[in-house]
Structure 1
Amino acid sequence: MTLSIPLLVAAPLLAGLMGPALLGAVPGPQQDDGPVTTPVHTAERDRVVEHVAARTAAEQRRVLDYWTPQRMARALPIDLLDIVTGGERLLDGLSGGTLNRTTRQLIDVDAVTKVVGAKTGLAQRVPRQGTPLLPRTAASKLPMPSHQSAAKPSASTIGARWITGGAVARTTGRVFMTVRGADFVCSASTVRSANKDVVVTAGHCVKDGAGEWAENWTFVPGYGTGGEQPFGRYAARRMFVAEAWSREGDDDYDVAMVALATSGGRHVADAVGTQEIAFNAPRGGQVFGFGYPADPPYNGGHLVYCAGRLKDDPHGQTRDQGLGCDMTAGSSGGPWMAGFDAATGNGTITSLSSFKYSDDPRTMYGPYLGDAAKALFNAAQHA
Structure 2
Amino acid sequence: MKKTSRGPLTVLIAVLLAVAAGAGGATAASGGPGGAGGAGGARAVSDGAGTASAALTDSGGARAADRAAAADTVRAYWTPERMRRAEYQGGGLSRGAMEHVRRQVADPTGEPGSVPPAAASSSGPPAAAVEIPTRVGRIFYVDPFDGKDKACDGNPLNSGSRRLVVTSGSCVFSRAAHTWMNNWVFIPGYFRGSAPYGKFVGDWGYTFNAWIDDGNMNYDFGLATTHPNESGQRLVDRVGGDGFAWNQPKEVFVSANGYSVNGQIPSGCGGYTRSASFGGIELPCAPSDGGLSRGGRWLMNIDPDTSLGYVNGVTSIHQPSGWLQSPYVNTEFRDFFYRVADS
Matched, 1:40 2:46: yes
The answer to whether the Cα contact below 8 Å between 1:23 and 1:39 also exists between their aligned partners in 2 is no
Q: Quote the Cα distance in structure 2 between the aligned partners of 1:78 and 1:273.
A: 26
TM-score (norm 2): 0.71
The answer to whether the Cα contact below 8 Å between 1:291 and 1:335 also exists between their aligned partners in 2 is yes
Matched, 1:172 2:136: yes
* CA drift at 1:29: 3.2
Matched, 1:277 2:237: no
Equivalence for 2:26:
none
Structure 1: gaps of 5 or more residues: 1-17, 83-113, 116-124, 130-164
* CA drift at 1:182: 0.4
| Cα-to-partner distance string for 1:307-330 (whole Å, 9 max, x where unaligned) | 0111111xx2x2111111125476
The answer to whether the Cα contact below 8 Å between 2:167 and 2:296 also exists between their aligned partners in 1 is yes
* CA drift at 1:63: 1.4
Instruction: Identify if the C-alpha distance between structure 1 residues 278 and 31 changes in structure 2 by more than 3 Å, giving closer, same or farther.
Output: same
* CA drift at 1:240: 0.8
Equivalence for 1:182:
148
2:266 aligned to which of 289, 296, 303:
303
Equivalence for 1:22:
4
> What is the identity, as a one-letter code, of the residue corresponding to 1:366?
S
**After the TM superposition, which residues 5-84 of structure 1 pair with which residues of structure 2 at under 5 Å, given as runs?**
20-22=2-4, 28-30=34-36, 33=39, 36-42=42-48, 54-55=56-57, 56-79=67-90, 82=91
* CA drift at 1:265: 1.4
> What is the identity, as a one-letter code, of the residue corresponding to 2:285?
C
Q: Quote the Cα distance in structure 1 between the aligned partners of 2:340 and 2:296.
A: 18
Matched, 1:324 2:284: yes
> What is the identity, as a one-letter code, of the residue corresponding to 1:288?
S
% identical aligned pairs: 26
Instruction: Identify if the C-alpha distance between structure 1 residues 232 and 205 changes in structure 2 by more than 3 Å, giving closer, same or farther.
Output: same
Instruction: Identify if the C-alpha distance between structure 1 residues 245 and 62 changes in structure 2 by more than 3 Å, giving closer, same or farther.
Output: same
* CA drift at 1:372: 2.6
Structure 2: gaps of 5 or more residues: 7-11, 14-32, 58-66, 99-129
The answer to whether the Cα contact below 8 Å between 2:97 and 2:216 also exists between their aligned partners in 1 is no
Equivalence for 1:337:
299
Q: Quote the Cα distance in structure 2 between the aligned partners of 1:34 and 1:54.
A: 13
Q: Quote the Cα distance in structure 2 between the aligned partners of 1:76 and 1:53.
A: 28
Instruction: Identify if the C-alpha distance between structure 1 residues 62 and 40 changes in structure 2 by more than 3 Å, giving closer, same or farther.
Output: farther
Instruction: Identify if the C-alpha distance between structure 1 residues 170 and 287 changes in structure 2 by more than 3 Å, giving closer, same or farther.
Output: same
Aligned positions, number = 273
The answer to whether the Cα contact below 8 Å between 2:227 and 2:234 also exists between their aligned partners in 1 is yes
Paired residue secondary structure (1:37): coil
| Cα-to-partner distance string for 1:91-131 (whole Å, 9 max, x where unaligned) | xxxxxxxxxxxxxxxxxxxxxxx58xxxxxxxxx72469xx
Q: Quote the Cα distance in structure 2 between the aligned partners of 1:200 and 1:293.
A: 18
The answer to whether the Cα contact below 8 Å between 1:75 and 1:184 also exists between their aligned partners in 2 is yes
Matched, 1:346 2:308: yes
Quote the RMSD (CA, aligned, Å).
3.0
Instruction: Identify if the C-alpha distance between structure 1 residues 73 and 339 changes in structure 2 by more than 3 Å, giving closer, same or farther.
Output: same
Equivalence for 1:6:
none
**After the TM superposition, which residues 12-161 of structure 1 pair with which residues of structure 2 at under 5 Å, given as runs?**
20-22=2-4, 28-30=34-36, 33=39, 36-42=42-48, 54-55=56-57, 56-79=67-90, 82=91, 126-127=95-96
**After the TM superposition, which residues 284-299 of structure 1 pair with which residues of structure 2 at under 5 Å, given as runs?**
284-295=251-262, 299=263
Instruction: Identify if the C-alpha distance between structure 1 residues 293 and 48 changes in structure 2 by more than 3 Å, giving closer, same or farther.
Output: farther
Paired residue secondary structure (2:43): strand
* CA drift at 1:343: 4.6
Q: Quote the Cα distance in structure 1 between the aligned partners of 2:218 and 2:97.
A: 15
* CA drift at 1:375: 2.6
TM-score (norm 1): 0.64
Higher relative contact order (Cα pairs below 8 Å, separated by 6+ residues): 1
* CA drift at 1:347: 1.2
Q: Which one is further off, 179-188 or 28-37? A: 28-37
| Cα-to-partner distance string for 1:189-247 (whole Å, 9 max, x where unaligned) | 001100000010001011134822111110000112x3221100111111111121122
The answer to whether the Cα contact below 8 Å between 1:199 and 1:258 also exists between their aligned partners in 2 is yes
Q: Quote the Cα distance in structure 1 between the aligned partners of 2:219 and 2:55.
A: 21
Divergent runs of 4+, >6 A: 23-27, 47-53
Paired residue secondary structure (1:235): strand
Equivalence for 1:90:
none
* CA drift at 1:41: 1.1
Matched, 1:261 2:261: no
| Cα-to-partner distance string for 1:252-277 (whole Å, 9 max, x where unaligned) | 00110111111121101111011111
Q: Quote the Cα distance in structure 2 between the aligned partners of 1:274 and 1:332.
A: 19
Paired residue secondary structure (1:336): strand
Q: Quote the Cα distance in structure 1 between the aligned partners of 2:292 and 2:205.
A: 19
Q: Quote the Cα distance in structure 2 between the aligned partners of 1:205 and 1:189.
A: 12
| Cα-to-partner distance string for 1:122-175 (whole Å, 9 max, x where unaligned) | xxx72469xxxxxxxxxxxxxxxxxxxxxxxxxxxxxxxxxxx89x71111000
1:377 aligned to which of 327, 337, 340:
337
Paired residue secondary structure (1:219): strand
* CA drift at 1:31: 5.7
The answer to whether the Cα contact below 8 Å between 2:75 and 2:185 also exists between their aligned partners in 1 is yes
Q: Quote the Cα distance in structure 2 between the aligned partners of 1:48 and 1:370.
A: 20
Equivalence for 1:365:
325
